[in-house]
């Protein structure tokens, strides 16, 4: 293998698995350390820069960081089952305990730059674009059909998961930057909007249409069958206050989980979730499924809906076919009937949460924006520009339903595109992130980070008592960590952003690092092709998603090979190294955001 080029920002970024997995690349270990230090406001601001909605995401994020967390790999055999750091919960702690941060927010632009941007939909994608561009002097107008900004974060996520005060606060920080919000105005025509002469238009209107289920009985029993996302919005607006005694929720995603838990709180005594495929394949996050089952909601899998049963316009139940999964020679799964008799589940009301799709009835097909055969806009994946270069898409409107953190990531990227485009630069050239790499050595045995690895297992977040929680739709269920538990959970973080950096010229090959490494990460061996090298290290490197860090040739012609897979970043290698060939250096990566730093030519500050 060639020596690893650690100047490539991606190399060390990949080692910080959580940050790499986060679509917005939030510097997770950095803010966790700040939480451990009791610097909650600082931790909040680190989050706010990346993901804009720390309080909202600390409650609702889909948490791609957690399955990636290295802690979930190294605890194997140490705890009952390996568990990642409760990253999302810690994010919430910073938001809950930060105090007043208004003074730390960017100021309104002193004067405008004369450019006008329209954002369609006031959800996380549009608000991120607005947040990035407004302080630069852009005049940003956000349009939404609802009276309040927040998009589906406000109307679709139930209040027992996300209190409205949190939304008001964090949406407010964005609007306070001098963003104009036009509520209660649905954009009906893209052409008309374009005619208003905006310099750029950002479409962040989400995927607002829930899929229906067109099977026998749908029309006849329509009064008792609701599309899940619409029903959740109706609950939010107070149009729906009650639900039938027996409720079926169809679908296996997070919307289905929100529907069933809401139904439980609105008087549903027997609420049941029914999914077509297997429990393990459900799209809902594992914790959402757990929470639903904790509230006494059974999840029945492998049942294909056949018909709505009804009597005199009244829904009486639903008929399902029992199926099982079979895998063909090509590995593709098909659901085949088990041969058991169809199952009739009696019910009074059905909530359909079987998916969402995009709909752009308001974009005229001759407006110059191309659509693919699934009805999604044709976009440049990096710049998010449509075939009209100054019309960009982001969030669910761009590539179909994802989640809030993806919407935020799209918002940042679109803002960079707009800023470059309107500065006369090519948006397809994406500026590199800002990276710093600084030694953490303070003295002979002192490091500026806490490298004493906590052996504790993941802490559980306290819940409101179930009887109480099920009585009120607006009572937040998760109570969040207190400061002391947050500190202990933060101690589980392995500081993966504090990197082991090796300088081959200083190494005397004394083996001290190999001997002390608790995880058998380090080997000194003859070089070879990667596949072969992986098999003959101190411990075989069996996780190909994690890199090998390879040095240049040493005096004995061998190379140092470090498997990044299970490194604890404890720094014992650097602590033991007599020559300083190993060092622990903090890697901090900030993604490029709109502003002077994203431009090639750097004009004088406005």
Strand (E) positions, 366-477? 391-393, 434-439
Q: Is 381 in the site for another protein (CB under 8 A)?
A: no
Sign of dihedral through CA atoms 61, 64, 65, 71? positive
Sign of dihedral through CA atoms 263, 146, 169, 32? positive
Rounded CA separation 54/19 (Å): 15
Q: At its nearest, how many Å lie between another protein and the CB of residue 551?
A: 17
Q: Is 529 in the site for another protein (CB under 8 A)?
A: no
Q: Is 498 in the site for another protein (CB under 8 A)?
A: no
Rounded CA separation 141/497 (Å): 38
Q: Is 579 in the site for another protein (CB under 8 A)?
A: yes
Binding mask 547-566 for another protein (x = CB under 8 A): --------xx---------x
What are the backbone angles phi and psi of residue 498, rounded to the nearest 5°? Answer: -90, 105
Q: Is 539 in the site for another protein (CB under 8 A)?
A: yes
Among 445, 467, 531, 603, binds another protein (CB under 8 A): 445
Q: Which is nearer to another protein, 62 or 504 (CB)?
A: 504
Binding residues among 29-68 for another protein as defined by CB under 8 A:
none
Q: At its nearest, how many Å lie between another protein and the CB of residue 449?
A: 12
Among 328, 455, 529, 603, binds another protein (CB under 8 A): 455
Judged by DSSP in three states, 322 sits in strand
CB under 8 A: which stretch of 42-50, 144-152, 288-296, 449-457 binds another protein? Answer: 449-457
Among 504, 519, 527, 552, binds another protein (CB under 8 A): 519
Among 267, 518, 544, 553, binds another protein (CB under 8 A): 518
Among 275, 404, 512, 561, binds another protein (CB under 8 A): 512
Q: Is 169 in the site for another protein (CB under 8 A)?
A: no
**Site size toward another protein, by CB under 8 A:** 37
Q: Which is nearer to another protein, 42 or 563 (CB)?
A: 563
Q: At its nearest, how many Å lie between another protein and the CB of residue 584?
A: 12
Q: Which is nearer to another protein, 346 or 540 (CB)?
A: 540
Q: At its nearest, how many Å lie between another protein and the CB of residue 69?
A: 14
Q: At its nearest, how many Å lie between another protein and the CB of residue 555?
A: 7
CB under 8 A: which stretch of 221-229, 338-346, 572-580, 592-600 binds another protein? Answer: 572-580
CB under 8 A: which stretch of 158-166, 253-261, 508-516, 594-602 binds another protein? Answer: 508-516
Q: Is 341 in the site for another protein (CB under 8 A)?
A: no
Q: At its nearest, how many Å lie between another protein and the CB of residue 305?
A: 42
Sign of dihedral through CA atoms 272, 274, 280, 282? negative
∠ CA 267-269-275, nearest 5°, is 110
Other CB atoms within 10 A of residue 257 CB:
30
Q: At its nearest, how many Å lie between another protein and the CB of residue 493?
A: 13
Rounded CA separation 444/252 (Å): 55
Q: Is 537 in the site for another protein (CB under 8 A)?
A: no
User: For the chain, give me the number of helices (H) and strands (E)?
Assistant: 22, 22
Binding mask 63-102 for another protein (x = CB under 8 A): ----------xxxxxx------------------------
Closest CA to 83 of 62, 96, 69, 94: 69
Would you state the structure tokens that stand for residue 184, as one six-digit string?
């209660």
CB under 8 A: which stretch of 200-208, 337-345, 569-577, 592-600 binds another protein? Answer: 569-577
Q: Please enumerate in sequence order all residues whose Cβ is within 8 A of that of 405, keeping only pairs 6 or more positions apart, or say none.
A: 22, 23, 24, 51, 57, 61, 62, 64
Q: Is 540 in the site for another protein (CB under 8 A)?
A: yes
What is the full DSSP assignment across 477-541? SB----HHHHHHHHTT---TTEEEEE-GGG-----HHHHH-TT--EEEE----HHHHHHTSSS--
Q: Which is nearer to another protein, 576 or 599 (CB)?
A: 576
Strands lying side by side in the sheet with 270-274:
225-227, 349-352, 246-250, 270-274, 299-300
| Partners of 79 in beta bridges | none
Q: Which is nearer to another protein, 105 or 554 (CB)?
A: 554
Would you state the structure tokens that stand for residue 501, as one six-digit string?
């950096």
Judged by DSSP in three states, 437 sits in strand
What does the binding site for another protein look like in residue numbers (CB under 8 A)?
A: 73-78, 445, 451-453, 455, 508-512, 514-516, 518-521, 539-540, 542, 555-556, 566, 568, 570, 572, 575-579
């Amino acid at each position: 293998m060639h020596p690893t080029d650690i100047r490539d920002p991606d190399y060390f970024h990949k080692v910080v698995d959580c940050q790499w997995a986060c679509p917005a690349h939030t510097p997770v270990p950095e803010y966790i350390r700040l939480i451990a230090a009791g610097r909650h406001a600082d931790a909040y601001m680190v989050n706010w820069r990346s993901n804009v909605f720390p309080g909202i995401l600390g409650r609702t994020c889909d948490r791609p960081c957690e399955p990636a967390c290295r802690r979930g790999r190294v605890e194997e055999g140490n705890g009952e089952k390996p568990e990642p750091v409760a990253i999302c919960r810690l994010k919430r702690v910073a938001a809950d305990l930060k105090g007043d941060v208004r003074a730390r927010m960017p100021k309104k632009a002193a004067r405008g730059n004369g450019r006008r941007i329209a954002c369609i939909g006031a959800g996380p994608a549009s608000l991120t674009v607005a947040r990035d561009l407004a302080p630069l002097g852009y005049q940003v107008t956000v349009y939404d059909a609802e009276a309040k900004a927040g998009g589906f974060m406000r109307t679709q996520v139930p209040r027992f998961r996300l209190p409205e005060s949190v939304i008001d606060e964090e949406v407010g920080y964005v609007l306070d930057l001098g963003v104009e919000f036009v509520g209660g105005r649905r954009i009906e025509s893209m052409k008309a909007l374009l005619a208003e002469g905006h310099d750029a238009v950002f479409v962040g209107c989400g995927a607002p249409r829930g899929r229906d289920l067109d099977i026998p009985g749908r029309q006849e029993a329509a009064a008792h069958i609701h599309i899940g996302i619409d029903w959740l919005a109706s609950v939010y607006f107070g149009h729906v206050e009650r639900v039938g005694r027996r409720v079926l929720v169809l679908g296996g995603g997070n919307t289905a989980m929100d529907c069933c838990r809401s139904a439980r709180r609105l008087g549903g005594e027997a609420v049941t979730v029914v999914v077509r495929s297997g429990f393990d394949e459900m799209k809902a996050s594992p914790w959402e499924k757990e929470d639903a089952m904790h509230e006494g909601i059974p999840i029945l899998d492998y049942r294909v809906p056949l018909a709505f049963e009804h009597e005199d316009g009244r829904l009486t139940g639903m008929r399902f076919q029992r199926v099982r999964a079979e895998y063909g020679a090509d590995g593709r799964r098909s659901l085949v009937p088990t041969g058991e008799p169809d199952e009739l589940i009696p019910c009074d009301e059905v909530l359909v949460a079987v998916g969402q799709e995009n709909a752009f009835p308001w974009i005229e097909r001759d407006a110059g924006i191309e659509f693919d055969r699934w009805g999604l806009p044709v976009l440049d994946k990096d710049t998010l520009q449509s075939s009209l270069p100054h019309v960009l898409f982001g969030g669910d409107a761009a590539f179909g339903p994802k989640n809030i953190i993806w919407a935020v990531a799209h918002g940042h990227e679109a803002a960079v595109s707009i800023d470059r485009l309107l500065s006369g630069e090519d948006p397809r050239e994406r500026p590199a992130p800002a990276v710093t790499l600084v030694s953490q050595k303070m003295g002979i045995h002192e490091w500026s980070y806490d490298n004493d690895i906590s052996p504790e297992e993941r802490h559980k977040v306290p819940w409101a008592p179930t009887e109480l929680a099920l009585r009120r739709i607006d009572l937040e269920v998760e109570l969040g960590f207190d400061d002391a538990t947050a500190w202990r959970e933060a101690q589980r973080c392995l500081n993966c952003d504090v990197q082991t950096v090796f300088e081959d010229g200083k190494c005397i090959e004394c083996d001290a690092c190999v001997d002390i490494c608790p995880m058998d990460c380090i080997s000194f061996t003859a070089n070879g092709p990667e596949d072969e090298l992986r098999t003959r290290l101190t411990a075989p490197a069996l996780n190909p998603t994690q890199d090998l860090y390879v040095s240049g040739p040493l005096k004995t012609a061998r190379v140092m090979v470090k498997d990044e897979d299970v490194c604890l970043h404890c720094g014992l290698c650097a602590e033991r190294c007599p020559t300083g060939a190993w060092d622990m250096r903090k890697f901090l990566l900030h993604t490029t955001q709109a502003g002077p730093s994203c431009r090639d030519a750097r004009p004088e500050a406005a």
